[in-house]
Structure 1
Amino acid sequence: MQYFVVMIDYGRRGREAIVDPEITRREVISRIVSGEYKNISFIHEIADCSIEDITADILAEAALPAVPISRANLQANRFDHARDLLKADASGS
């Protein structure tokens, strides 16, 4: 049997261990990405008779990839800025 223990730290209010034998690694990552799991102290994977701290691995997998800004977006931003300047000039006159 394999399951995950996610320890959430609520500061002065204490800690909570979330243990659900039916939750998968993918679901743990999904809950971190969605913001459902915050302030994580640690994540342990328990399989058979062994315990492994996989906090760093899971948090790395849950990190959102950096999406580079394309040239089209930069050009659109320039046009939006120019339009905003024209509006400001028109309303200020």
Structure 2
Amino acid sequence: MQYFVVMIDYGRRGREAVVDPEMTRRDVVARVASGEYANISFIHEIIDRSVEDVTTDILAEAALPEIEDDGPDLQAVRFDHIHDLRKHERA
């Protein structure tokens, strides 16, 4: 049997362990990436009788890739162009 234990820390309100035998690794990663699981204390993977801390692995998998902003803001350029056209029409 394999399942994951996600420990969520609510601060003063305490902690909650989310355990769902139906949840796969992909499900855990998706929930972390979506923000459904936040303030995670740890994530353990239980396989038969062994426990492995997979917190850093899951958090790394759930991290969104950074998108570089190397081009101009095309929408802003379009609005500036429209503004310039209207300004010249008035003159």
Q: Deviations over 1:2-41 (max 9, x none)?
A: 0000000000000000000000000001111111100000
Secondary structure, in 3 states, of the residue corresponding to 2:29?
helix
| Structure 1 unmatched ranges of 5 or more | none
Could you list the runs of 4 or more consecutive aligned residues of structure 1 that deviate by over 6 angstroms after TM superposition?
Answer: none
- CA displacement at 1:82 relative to structure 2: 3.6
Identity of aligned residues (%): 61
Q: 1:79 to 1:50 in 2, by over 3 A?
A: same
Rounded to whole Å, the distance in 2 between the matches of 1:13 and 1:83 is: 54
Matched with 1:40 is 40
Rounded to whole Å, the distance in 1 between the matches of 2:57 and 2:4 is: 13
Instruction: Kindly indicate which of the two structures has a greater share of residues assigned to helix.
Output: 1
Q: 1:34 to 1:75 in 2, by over 3 A?
A: closer
Rounded to whole Å, the distance in 1 between the matches of 2:39 and 2:4 is: 16
Matched with 2:77 is 79
Q: Give the TM-score, by structure 2 length.
A: 0.81
Q: How many residues are paired up?
A: 85
| Structure 2 unmatched ranges of 5 or more | none
Q: Give the TM-score, by structure 1 length.
A: 0.80
